[in-house]
With several copies, the nearest count.
Chain A
């Protein structure tokens, strides 16, 4: 049976599957459906210094092969996450990745400092790519200089592994990845959502109250996979790939393109058991194909 364990960027995973930030809450609901300890890891909802209400509803609209969301980082703030959510998450034998987001650059530093000594955190995922907040968010992730600056701030404030989560809403993702690599990122994760919108033609206004939202789901998988492929050729730090992964075959594509691990997001809306289902099918596929260690397939697609 294939060895699914992975070790990269100072992160140890029992398998390559993590649940993506914003699509698994803090694990409480998924824990009712399956044992969270089966997961390689869990990336919690984007966490900010202060509690955030997020954007007004409607926040979700289905699109062909995916959905738009404009949640806008609703979360109880870092203190509540440490007090109330971390103890719950520590019960499980899985890597807990805390996704952090700021309004201003210094927020990232403060968040990283605050979380540095909290037990049970495997890594920080630095969200500089949220398309749904006015200040900060994606604006940070579309300019190499800002992206690098925030990376440095976080890198200096914590001894935890630093994963920088990149935005797909850019001309050249390789350029941004290089900038954050140079600034000290241990790992990059990509992609966050692609900015999109939909209009209610009866009301003649954007359907989402926030006007635009982030597209996720299988619709954007080809774009995400291309970006992982490009990033793999641009940097030498490991990559966590995501964007539309809904089954084991999708996941294998991402790993062959160069991802060391992958996250599943919207898949859990389509199928709440996506994580266990993908893990089972992945194991079976790797076994059938005689793969001894999952790490053997990383970046193995040739052209």
Chain B
């Protein structure tokens, strides 16, 4: 974890509401692991006051390149769209734990929805390089909202689910969860409802799964106890864990929905 002044290489709209921010941040790029995130602000002011958590979508330690894909939602992300080439931005990162990839893993399923897709791309790449066979299911509102689909295709087979049916299956990503394949691991990031469903389906098929959670954050680095989720300990006790420090990736089974 460190605070780095990154230089903006590019910042452009790629989908309705989705933007892509390319940064030169060599120190963070050197350390970041798939699934980790950063705290980001574009404001030189006390409003917005808090930094925004953003997953890392591309990590290139060699060139120091880092990419974020962000959904424009409220004030903080709106300000991000004002960044132009060569401007500077403070990043705190890399933060949190990362997707766990086990040596024994041969085949994995990645399920992404909404802005959660972004943090799964470096995982797909990692799995690919580790010779894990990867299936990817991406869910979105419509074709226009599918992001990174082409890039995922470099690392595995990709299928889509869109609510309006404009691309792939018409419906939810979880509707096309492959019942017949014995994955070694399922990785999911997306809306809470989707992840809960994925955990449920995986449990049914006795496949382990990992999910990346979101919660409003004060600090992003573990000091404020703001970003907790309920986790069931092996002894059955439910405890609160910090998403920013103990997560954002949790074993699906331990999350108490």
- Binary contact readout B32-59 vs A (1 if CB under 8 angstroms, 0 otherwise): 0000000001000011111100000000
Number of A residues, CB within 8 Å of B: 37
Inter-chain contact B245/A29, CB cutoff 8 Å: yes
User: Which B residues lie within 8 Å of A266 (CB)?
Assistant: 49, 218
Complex partner residue of B226 from A30, A33, A71, A246, CB under 8 angstroms: A71
Main secondary structure of the interface of A (DSSP, over half): loop
Inter-chain contact A22/B240, CB cutoff 8 Å: no
Q: Does B206 contact A (CB under 8 A)?
A: no
User: Which B residues lie within 8 Å of A66 (CB)?
Assistant: 46, 49
User: Which A residues lie within 8 Å of B215 (CB)?
Assistant: 57-58
Complex partner residue of A270 from B51, B228, B229, CB under 8 angstroms: B51
Name the 3 nearest CB pairs between A and B, nearest first.
A60-B226, A25-B223, A29-B222
Inter-chain contact B240/A74, CB cutoff 8 Å: yes
User: Which A residues lie within 8 Å of B46 (CB)?
Assistant: 64-66, 217-219, 246, 270
What are 13 A-B pairs with beta-carbon distances under 8 A?
Answer: A22-B225, A29-B222, A57-B215, A58-B215, A59-B226, A64-B47, A65-B49, A266-B218, A268-B223, A269-B50, A270-B46, A272-B3, A272-B221
> Which residues in A have some Cβ–Cβ distance to B below 8 Å?
22-25, 28-30, 32-33, 45, 53-54, 57-67, 69, 71, 74, 217-219, 246, 266, 268-273
Closest residue of chain B to A270 (Cβ to Cβ) is: B49
Inter-chain contact B49/A58, CB cutoff 8 Å: no
Complex partner residue of A53 from B41, B48, B218, B240, CB under 8 angstroms: B240
The answer for the CA separation of A25 and B229 in the assembled complex, in Å, is: 17
Inter-chain contact A217/B226, CB cutoff 8 Å: no
- Binary contact readout B1-15 vs A (1 if CB under 8 angstroms, 0 otherwise): 111000000000000
Complex partner residue of A61 from B51, B216, B220, B225, CB under 8 angstroms: B216
Inter-chain contact A272/B224, CB cutoff 8 Å: no
**Nearest-Cβ distance from residue B221 to partner chain A, whole angstroms:** 5
User: Which B residues lie within 8 Å of A32 (CB)?
Assistant: 1
Inter-chain contact B49/A53, CB cutoff 8 Å: no
Interface residues on B, range: 20 to 34
Q: Take A33-B3, A60-B226, A71-B224 as given contacts and tell me if A54 and B240 are in contact as well, using a CB distance cutoff of 8 Å.
A: yes
Q: Does B185 contact A (CB under 8 A)?
A: no
The answer for the CA separation of A53 and B92 in the assembled complex, in Å, is: 27
The answer for the CA separation of A65 and B228 in the assembled complex, in Å, is: 23
Q: Does B148 contact A (CB under 8 A)?
A: no
Inter-chain contact B228/A269, CB cutoff 8 Å: no
Inter-chain contact B216/A269, CB cutoff 8 Å: no
Inter-chain contact B225/A57, CB cutoff 8 Å: no
> Which of B48, B51, B216, B217 has the most CB atoms of chain A within a 10 A radius of its CB?
B216
Inter-chain contact A60/B49, CB cutoff 8 Å: no
**Nearest-Cβ distance from residue A201 to partner chain B, whole angstroms:** 13
User: Which A residues lie within 8 Å of B240 (CB)?
Assistant: 53-54, 74
**Nearest-Cβ distance from residue A73 to partner chain B, whole angstroms:** 9
**Nearest-Cβ distance from residue A101 to partner chain B, whole angstroms:** 14
**Nearest-Cβ distance from residue B215 to partner chain A, whole angstroms:** 6
**Nearest-Cβ distance from residue A4 to partner chain B, whole angstroms:** 24
User: Which B residues lie within 8 Å of A270 (CB)?
Assistant: 41, 46, 49-51
Inter-chain contact B223/A23, CB cutoff 8 Å: yes
**Nearest-Cβ distance from residue B18 to partner chain A, whole angstroms:** 21
- 19 extra interface residue pairs, beta carbon distance < 8 Å, beyond A22-B224, A74-B240: A23-B224, A25-B222, A25-B225, A54-B225, A54-B228, A58-B215, A59-B228, A60-B216, A61-B216, A64-B47, A67-B49, A69-B224, A71-B225, A217-B46, A266-B218, A269-B51, A269-B218, A270-B41, A272-B219
Q: Take A53-B240, A60-B216 as given contacts and tell me if A29 and B221 are in contact as well, using a CB distance cutoff of 8 Å.
A: yes
The answer for the CA separation of A233 and B90 in the assembled complex, in Å, is: 41
Q: Does B181 contact A (CB under 8 A)?
A: no
Inter-chain contact A59/B216, CB cutoff 8 Å: yes
Q: Does B105 contact A (CB under 8 A)?
A: no
User: Which B residues lie within 8 Å of A58 (CB)?
Assistant: 215-216
The answer for the CA separation of A54 and B50 in the assembled complex, in Å, is: 22
Closest residue of chain A to B221 (Cβ to Cβ) is: A29
